Structure 1
Amino acid sequence: MKNAPLNLLLTAVLMLTLSVSHSLPNMATAHFHYNPLLLNGKSMDITRLSIVSKGKLQVVLKEDDKTKEVPFKIYLVRDGKIVGANSRSCNHAVREVELSSILKSAKAGDQLYVDPAGSGQEIGRRIITVKADPFLPRIQWFYGLNKGKDGC
């Protein structure tokens, strides 16, 4: 009889949690936090974008287990100004672009803007910060030239 209150408590908790989980509405996950950027046909990890990233970039819209390519404009911004403003992908909407051609003039800290073209798009602008290549060491070859600049 010592376990009777414990069994009763566990049964009540189980019944309450099951009833609550079945009464809540199902979450609409079709358009919830999916990544519309594809790099070489696979979902792109935007946290790993570096200066040396390569591949074909596409923007897609998921609709009922189907993907539809979305035309987009892509450009690089440094200190609030567009870098290479005369490039084709900056002025005209494209369906895919070679990422290395955009990043060839990039520096660490630049921002890559991906704007879906057209009105009424469900996909918003994506802003990705470009990182330095993690595998290339940053070696300062001329130590004497750094004197007087914060001592670093």
Structure 2
Amino acid sequence: MSRRSALAALIALSAGLALAGCSSDSEPELKVKDAFMPQPVDDDMAAGFLTVRNSGGTADKLTSVTSDLSEDITIHESKNQRMQEVKAFDIPADGELDLERGGNHIMFMKLKQKPKQGEKVTVELRFEKSGPIEVELPVKEPTYNPTSTEH
């Protein structure tokens, strides 16, 4: 009987380890692309845009953004042509979160200085499950829109 118990325990342990190995495959795997900030036309505020790609099997959430450019950075959704601050943005498993002109975006208030075209603004994106990601936002001309046919 003790051999059967030991064998059963070994099989159970092996199965548990195999399942634990599989669960790591379902972690969020986040990468940021297409990041930019239009040169602010106002001395006091700016917006940031980017795409977060999640190639993992588990959803995550963008919960906050920090930067030396401002102490007051929020994330906003745009609905019915109105901006509204939100606590987090969902990043679906095997999907994307698009922060883009006319839609959801990062809002920088009370700028410490006004970034100029050609400079880069460093931000840190913070997530519910994943570790933080540092991203550089190249400052583009004020009218820059990568989804526009002009660019």
TM range (shorter): 0.3 to 0.5
- TM-score between both structures, scaled by the size of structure 1: 0.37
- TM-score between both structures, scaled by the size of structure 2: 0.37
Bigger strand share? 2
Q: Which structure has the bigger radius of gyration?
A: 1
